Amino acid sequence: MGDCNVYIMGGEEMTTLLLSIITLACVVLVIVLIYVLLELRRATQKLEQFITTSETSLKPTLDELPGTIRSIRHIAENIATVTDDVKTLSGSVRDVGENIRLTSGYIEEIASSSSVQVSGLRAGIRAGFNVLVNNLLTKHKK
């Protein structure tokens, strides 16, 4: 029976050793968990500070946003108006060009008809002068 007691004693030592290892592991796990929780708390605080800072810096920008959108709408409306004015102006320039072309045609017609009339008048005067000269010369010869 002596051997049996040693065996049981060895089992108790083994159990004590295992319990010690498990206890030590639990203590280490608790220490690691405490460290992780502290780091998580610091990270949460930094995240809260970041959110607060971002919120503070974004608030003025977000407050200006409606005014900026109104300004962009106003500019877009002005661009549409200017575009319409440019279309009207180009139509007017086209009309002026057409009027100049027509006026130029009229001036050419007047100039050509005047030159025909002047040529006709000149030919008439020349013919009249020739007749007058011929009549004068014919009367003097008689």
Name the one residue in this structure whose structure tokens are 């409606």: 66
- The token pair at 95 is 């009309």
Distance between CA 114 and CA 120 in Å, rounded? 9
Average pLDDT, stretch 67-82?
91
Residue in this structure with the two tokens 């639990």, named with its chain if needed: 26
**23-31, long-range: CB within 8 Å, 24+ apart, which pairs?**
none
Residue 10: predicted pLDDT = 60
Task: Tell me the per-residue pLDDT of 98-141, one tens digit each, with 9 for 90 and over.
Answer: 888 888 887 777 777 766 677 777 888 888 888 888 887 777 66
CA distance 103 to 95: 12
Residue 14 has pLDDT above 80, yes or no: yes
Mean pLDDT (whole number) for 49-59:
90
Q: Is the pLDDT of residue 3 over 90?
A: no
The alpha carbons of the chain give a radius of gyration, in whole angstroms, of 58
Token pair in block for residue 112? 């050509």
Q: Across all residues in the chain, what is the average pLDDT?
A: 83
Q: How far apart are CA 79 and CA 85, in angstroms?
A: 10
- Range name among 6-15, 34-43, 98-107, 118-127 with the lowest pLDDT average: 6-15
